[in-house]
Amino acid sequence: MASDKSHDPDAIAAGAPTRSADMAATAPDVEPITGDVEVKTWLDSMKDYEAAGVIAAIGLQLAVLVAMIVMGSLKAAREFF
Amino acid sequence: MEKRPLPDSNRQWLLDELNLWRRLGLVNEDQVNGIVDLYETPTQSAERRQSTAIYLLVGVSACFVGLAVLLLVAYNWTLLPDAIKLFLLLIAVGGAHALGYSLRYLWDAKNFSESAFFLGCLFYGGSIWLIADIFHLGSHYPDGIWWWAVGVVPLAFFLDTIFLHMLAVTLLAAWVGTELIGFHGGVPGAFGLPRACWTLPILAGLGFFWSYQKKSTSTLGLYVPLAAWWLALVPLAWSGLARENPILYIGGIGALLLILAEVHPEGSLFAVPYRLYGSLVCIGVLTTLSFFEVQREFRHIHDLGVFVGLSVGITALALGAFGVAAAMHTPADDEATLDRPLMVFVTRQWLPLAMAGLMLFMALWYAALKNAAGNNDAFVAAVPTVLANVGMIGLAFWLMMLGLREDRGFPSGGGVLFFLVWSVCRYTEWFSDHGGLLGGACMFFLCGAAIFGFAMFWHYRKKQRETSDGE
């Protein structure tokens, strides 16, 4: 096994590859982080589901009205018969 | 990054100061540009103000359109067949919400969409009553208000709009009021459980949770009075409790709100709604109790157990809230250097705890001396009257101190105003019959001296602190 020359100043001066150069050569391509790193809270994540939540809330209102109509119809039918 | 709003007056001040700092070499040109870039340009500010005005106008116009449609339909309502009526109601609710949804998510017109959703919620409430009317379902009308509120609350949470929160809170408050004041007895099928609006704490609790998560003090300012309103009315659910004079119990609620305000870190804006409503309740209660003739009315206690129980209950709740907050208290960084950080926390609570203690003491005092009054009737009422007056003055100066400490004008001004109210009350009570102008002049002189003394005390204390900080 070849000895590690990455910390040897003489070897580096002679052109031996440094550890950082090795790492850079073998590192996978990662996109650099630019700008502010934004940490998402659960409340921010909730914003992604806002539209679905609004539809569910509207659905609840309509469901209440439909339930009232059904109850009222049953009541009227009971009274009729 | 979204630009921060900046009023024109503040903008001019900032630009002047930045010019000065640049001339002094404190900041360079890039830093100046960076700071200015953080804020809206004058054009953007003007556009924002215009869009707020348009938002309000559209909201008002939505209300008018809603009213016009309701009146138009009401005019022809009896002529329409039931099936058409039901169809129209469902179309009105669904159509208004569909319009709101399209405006918000398809056409990116958020402000207009909120008006459409608000209109949809008004139509939804109207539909509940009209469907109940068509089928003669109106057995217990507060239930209709509850169903209306339950439909509005989720939409308010998802849409993040103050209008819908206001509507939801108004409906819940109306439901609590109609249910607790107008109806007694048990919840059907709940083994005699009284009608105490048990779902209110859950719905209001969601509002509290949402307000803290969103850091919205204005929304919190809606849910705090709602919770206090429920707490004030909940004894009415038990018919035995409804007969007793509730003023000391209501004073206990004010003390509880003040305790909750001081649980927050010093200077926190979340404390403001609790402190505002707590102070208003305590001011109202103490002003009433500060009159000797009002205190004499406590001779007529119907049920001693209920009278004392109410005060003990609300004081226990207040102390429980204080105890839980004290146990969970973690010292802030500036308190960490002190030997007893808990002591600092407790010191801030001296007045709220004193208020809770005062209300409980008065209840126990009257309970203890109920049968022993006789010829000592005047003495029995005099002691709580004096204490109520001391409480008024204490609260007034506490508010002044708080305003000075946190450098906010509203509490200070409120404290001074409350002190003036106290002096006017005492003038009318003490000197309207006897003493006349001379007595009044003497009292107002003492009031002026007290305020001046307080200002001087604060001035010297501030100087002392500045000196000790300098050393």
Question: What digits encode the pLDDT tens for the residues B25-84?
Answer: 888 888 888 888 888 888 877 777 766 777 778 778 877 877 787 787 777 777 888 888
For residue A27, give how far its alpha carbon lies from the nearest alpha carbon of chain B (Å): 32
Helix, strand, or coil (residue B39): strand
The verdict on ipTM greater than 0.85 is no
Q: What is the pLDDT of residues B308-332, one digit of tens each?
A: 888 999 999 999 988 888 887 766 5
Tokens of B181: 């004041």
Cα B434 from Cα B427, distance rounded (Å)? 10
Cβ-nearest to B213 among A43, A58, A64: A43
Nearest CA in chain B to A77: B135
Parse chain B into domains and list their residue ranges.
1-40
Mean pLDDT of B356-362: 93
Lowest mean pLDDT among B15-19, B74-78, B217-221, B283-287: B74-78
Tokens of B268: 């926190």
Contact B253, B239 (CB under 8 A): no
Interchain pair A57, B155: CB under 8 A:
yes
Q: What is the pLDDT of residues B396-441, one digit of tens each?
A: 989 988 888 777 778 888 888 898 888 888 877 877 766 677 777 7
Give the residue from B107, B114, B139, B158 with the most A CB atoms within 10 Å of its CB, the best one to mutate.
Answer: B158
**Which phi and psi angles does A33 have, rounded to 5°?**
-80, 120
Torsion of CA B423, B429, B432, B434, to 10 degrees: -110
Tokens of B312: 């003990």
Tokens of B203: 């719905």
State residue B463's pLDDT score: 78
Task: State the pLDDT confidence band at B392, using cuts at 50, 70 and 90.
Answer: very high
Task: State the pLDDT confidence band at A1, using cuts at 50, 70 and 90.
Answer: very low
Mean pLDDT of A17-33: 51
Contact B216, B232 (CB under 8 A): no
Mean pLDDT of B257-280: 91
Cβ-nearest to B86 among A51, A69, A75: A69
State residue B380's pLDDT score: 83
Interchain pair B101, A58: CB under 8 A:
yes
Cα B418 from Cα B397, distance rounded (Å)? 9
Cα B314 from Cα B231, distance rounded (Å)? 9
Cα B413 from Cα B409, distance rounded (Å)? 6
Closest C-alpha among B183, B186, B189, B82 to residue B132: B82
pLDDT at A61 over 70: yes
The residue ranking higher by pLDDT, A48 or B158, is B158
Interchain pair A69, B93: CB under 8 A:
no
Closest C-alpha among B222, B215, B330 to residue B270: B215
Q: What is the pLDDT of residues B109-120, one digit of tens each?
A: 787 888 889 989
Name residues whose C-beta falls within 8 Å of residue B225's C-beta, 6 or more positions apart in sequence.
B173, B273, B277
Helix, strand, or coil (residue B340): coil
A14 close to B (CB below 8 A): no
Interchain pair B135, A57: CB under 8 A:
no
Cα B235 from Cα B240, distance rounded (Å)? 9
pLDDT at A26 over 70: no
Residues of B in contact with A74 (CB under 8 A): none
Task: State the pLDDT confidence band at A32, using cuts at 50, 70 and 90.
Answer: low
- Contacts across the A-B interface (CB distance below 8 Å): 73
Cβ-nearest to B158 among A36, A54, A61: A54
Q: Which range scores top for mean pLDDT: B5-19, B167-181, B185-199?
A: B167-181
pLDDT at B218 over 80: yes
Mean pLDDT of chain B, nearest integer? 84
Closest C-alpha among B325, B329, B333, B331 to residue B353: B325
pLDDT at B195 over 70: yes
Cα B371 from Cα B452, distance rounded (Å)? 44
**Which phi and psi angles does B3 have, rounded to 5°?**
-70, 140
Name residues whose C-beta falls within 8 Å of residue A27's C-beta, 6 or more positions apart in sequence.
none
Task: State the pLDDT confidence band at B452, using cuts at 50, 70 and 90.
Answer: confident
B118 alpha-carbon distance from chain centroid: 23
State residue B395's pLDDT score: 93
Name residues whose C-beta falls within 8 Å of residue B435's C-beta, 6 or more positions apart in sequence.
none
Task: State the pLDDT confidence band at A3, using cuts at 50, 70 and 90.
Answer: very low
**Which phi and psi angles does B188 have, rounded to 5°?**
-60, 130
Residues of B in contact with A76 (CB under 8 A): 135
Please report the sign of the dihedral spanned by the C-alpha atoms of residue B38, residue B41, residue B47, residue B53. Answer: positive
pLDDT at B138 over 60: yes
Longest CA pairwise span in chain A (Å):
106
Burial of residue B305 (number of CB atoms within 10 Å: 0-12, 13-18, 19+): exposed
Contact B211, B227 (CB under 8 A): no
Contact B86, A69 (CB under 8 A): yes
Helix, strand and coil percent figures for chain B, each rounded to 5: 80, 0, 20
Interchain pair A72, B121: CB under 8 A:
no
Cα B99 from Cα B313, distance rounded (Å)? 49
Tokens of B323: 């105890």
Tokens of B247: 């003023």
